[in-house]
Structure 1
Amino acid sequence: MKNRIFTVILYKEDDVYIAECPEVGTVDQGETIEQAIAGLKEATRLYLEEFPLPETSPRFVTSIEVSYA
């Protein structure tokens, strides 16, 4: 079994939390952050069993501030 670290983007929409994995394209939701992440882990695991990804370099996430009119 392989282990790999993926990015997770979390946000609240109405009354649920949405968790997205941008590297894979999987998404899940839950009533709590923990439920959303657990569902995303399972969805991502199932996806990768069917569609393995090639090995890539680690990705880093940061924030930027943009001024606009």
Structure 2
Amino acid sequence: MRYAVVIEQAEGNYSAYVPDLPGCVATGANLQDVEQAIREAIEFHVDGLLEDGLPVPPALSVVEYVEVAA
């Protein structure tokens, strides 16, 4: 599966979440750390759903950048 991930810069670190996997979040000191952490969080989250016999939500979110005139 390929899930959309939102990464936001916070005060002193970065946070990430997966819109299609509620509760799947991660933080990291920099972009590289948060990207690795969210990959691990997604795997852990999906494994937990499967172990509990729950369905794994499909990846439905779409990410796009929109340019606007400033």
The normalised TM-score by structure 1 is 0.73
Q: Report the CA distance between 1:59 and its aligned residue.
A: 3.8
Root-mean-square deviation (Å):
2.2
Distance 2:29 2:4 in 1: 20
By relative contact order (CA 8 Å, sep 6+), the higher-ranking structure is 2
- State whether structure 2 residue 62 is matched by structure 1 residue 60: yes
Distance 2:33 2:40 in 1: 11
Distance 2:26 2:59 in 1: 25
Q: Deviation per CA, 1:42-67, whole angstroms, max 9, x where unpaired?
A: 1110110111415x4654222458xx
- Unpaired segments ≥5 residues, structure 1: none
Q: SS of the counterpart of 1:50? A: helix
- The count of residues paired between Structure 1 and Structure 2 equals 62
Identity of aligned residues (%): 18
Q: Which has the higher strand share?
A: 1
